[in-house]
Amino acid sequence: MASTGTLDISANVAAVRARIAEACDRAGRDPATVTLVAVSKGHPVALVRAAAEAGCLDLGENRAQELLPKAAEAASSGLIPLPRWHFIGHLQRNKVWDVLPHIAALHSLDSVDLVREIEQRAGGLDAGIRLPRYPLPCYLEVNVAGEAQKHGVTPDALPDLLRAAQACEAIEVRGLMTVAPHLGDPERVRPVFRALRALAEAHGLDELSMGMTEDYPVAIEEGATVVRVGRAIFGARPA
Ligand SMILES: *Cc1c(COP(=O)(O)O)cnc(C)c1O
């Protein structure tokens, strides 16, 4: 067992789950409707193992270069059951075929070009045999706050992306995803979560991937069905 220093992953997971339950309580929701994705980016497989032992089998990674060796190491180290990897970062088109065989969901579908690439690479029966999840569950990433440096489509461009994704046999559209701006006070990002929910409802989509360490309780109050939590579980990421 590799040392994780003073970090107690199972206590952290328990604390996050308790806050999820409290937020659900406030919102009159069943905690079973919220999936916790533990974001392990920047951390070694020893911590992934600790999270898995604490019951977190949904793990989030945002870079192909990090996901591929980590998924391979987790598999070869005999981690049972194997985690389900969620890809949460911008996926470059030239990484699609490397990444697809490892992931249970893509949270960052952010362009029609990426839909086309997935269609080309994963279309057809052959891919269904080779990929763990086919069609691939996807969330369409929306840049609700219109921040210049962020990926994701603007709300105006969402209908085109949604149409392309729904027409693609290799993709199962689950819902919408957003990365909220860092504003310090989670109450200030509540309108962003509310806007994502309104967009999802307007397009008949049920699932919402939103909320991170700083704001996941508020995201749950606003309807998140998936929260992506890194630091509250694994501590600060090594620089
Ligand atoms: C890193 C990351 C997270 C987790 O962030 P924390 O603040 O560590 O909880 C969630 N979503 C995305 C897209 C990320 O890149």
Helix H, strand E, coil C: the string for the chain is CCCCCCCCHHHHHHHHHHHHHHHHHHHCCCHHHCEEEEECCCCCHHHHHHHHHCCCCEEEECCHHHHHHHHHHHHHCCCCCCCEEEECCCCCHHHHHHHHHHEEEEEEECCHHHHHHHHHHHCCHHHHHHCCCCCEEEEEEECCCCCCCCCCECHHHHHHHHHHHHHCCCEEEEEEECCCCCCCCHHHHHHHHHHHHHHHHHCCCCEEECCCCCCHHHHHHCCCCEEEECHHHHCCCCC
pLDDT of residue 127: 64
Lowest-confidence region among 16-20, 67-71, 78-82, 190-194: 78-82
More confident residue, 46 or 130: 46
* Cβ 38 under 6 angstroms from ligand 1: no
> What's the pLDDT band for 81 if we cut at 50, 70, 90?
confident
As a whole number of angstroms, the distance between CA 118 and CA 123 comes to 7
Q: What percent of the chain shows pLDDT beyond 90?
A: 81
Residue in the structure block whose two tokens are 């600060």: 236
Give per-residue pLDDT as tens, 113-165: 999 999 998 876 566 667 778 899 999 999 998 888 899 999 999 999 999 99
Q: What is the mean pLDDT of residues 89-110?
A: 96
* Cβ 190 under 6 angstroms from ligand 1: no
Domain boundaries, the chain: 3-234
pLDDT of residue 6: 66
Q: Are 60 and 103 a contacting pair, CB within 8 Å?
A: no
Q: Return the ligand 1 atom nearest residue 212 CA.
A: 9
Q: What percent of the chain shows pLDDT beyond 70?
A: 95
Average pLDDT, the chain: 93
Compute the distance from residue 134 Cα to the ligand 1 centre, in Å. Answer: 25
Q: What is the mean pLDDT of residues 79-106?
A: 93
Domain 3-234: which topology? TIM Barrel (3.20.20)
* Cβ 36 under 6 angstroms from ligand 1: no
Q: What is the mean pLDDT of residues 181-210?
A: 96
* Cβ 24 under 6 angstroms from ligand 1: no
Give per-residue pLDDT as tens, 217-233: 999 999 999 999 999 99
* Cβ 16 under 6 angstroms from ligand 1: no
